[in-house]
């Protein structure tokens, strides 16, 4: 197998955001992707729970908008030939993991495809809150996280990617996500601990 060199990228050690103009988006942290027995478990997903909790704590303490995406499928979904049946609406696997249970003040966006913006009200709701920056975390990094981060960037949002709060199926997928977010979408690469509010 041919090895591939990962292009360099900078991990910012201190990132300051305006809580009134920033939203945290937690992507697809659902039982099917995170917990043993799930239909499409990402091996490193559980390791990101504490970092995501850290981001949620910061957001809630400083009244930052919090959004969750919830991958949602019904029987016969066109994704099933690719991935098999997963996150069936109303099932255990569809539910957001207990450790990251949304609060009543958080917004859960059910999405039908990889991109959290496609066919949803996410962009509209962010604009109503006058959000300019999004912190995107969760799983699966090179699919739903990347498509959501990229879609945000294409709509003019500044994207922050805390790499200890994302997980991927393979190390290649993980690095590809960071490369694309950094280079293609001009996102800020950082860690959960490096983010603070002004």
Catalytic-residue membership of 53: no
State the catalytic residue, choosing from 32, 144, 158, 164. 144
Catalytic-residue membership of 137: no
State the catalytic residue, choosing from 111, 115, 158, 164. 111
Closest CA to 27 of 130, 181, 172, 171: 181
Closest CA to 133 of 15, 14, 23, 29: 23
Helix (H) or strand (E) holding 136: strand 133-138
State the catalytic residue, choosing from 28, 32, 77, 106. 28
Q: Exposure pattern of 78-116 as b/e (b: 16+ CB <10 Å)?
A: eeeeeeebbbbeeeebbebbeebeeeeebbebbbebbbb
Give the separation between CA 188 and CA 75, rounded to whole angstroms: 38
User: End-to-end distance of the chain based on CA atoms, in angstroms?
Assistant: 47
Q: Which residues are catalytic?
A: 28, 111, 144
């Amino acid at each position: 197998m041919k090895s591939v060199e990962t292009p360099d990228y900078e991990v910012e050690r201190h990132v300051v955001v305006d809580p009134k103009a920033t939203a945290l988006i937690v992507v697809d942290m659902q039982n099917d992707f995170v917990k043993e027995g799930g239909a499409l478990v990402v091996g490193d997903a559980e390791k990101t729970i504490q970092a995501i909790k850290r981001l949620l704590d910061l957001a809630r303490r400083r009244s930052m908008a919090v959004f969750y995406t919830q991958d949602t499928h019904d029987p016969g979904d066109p994704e099933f030939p690719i991935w098999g049946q997963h996150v069936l609406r109303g099932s255990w696997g569809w539910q957001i993991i207990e450790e990251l249970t949304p609060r009543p003040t958080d917004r859960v966006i059910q999405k039908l495809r990889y991109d959290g913006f496609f066919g949803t009200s996410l962009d509209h709701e962010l604009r109503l809150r006058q959000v300019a920056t999004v912190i995107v975390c969760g799983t699966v990094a090179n699919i739903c996280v990347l498509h959501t981060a990229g879609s945000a960037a294409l709509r003019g949002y500044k994207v922050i990617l805390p790499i200890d709060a994302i997980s991927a199926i393979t190390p290649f997928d993980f690095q590809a996500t960071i490369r694309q977010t950094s280079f293609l979408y001009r996102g800020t690469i950082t860690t959960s601990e490096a983010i603070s509010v002004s």
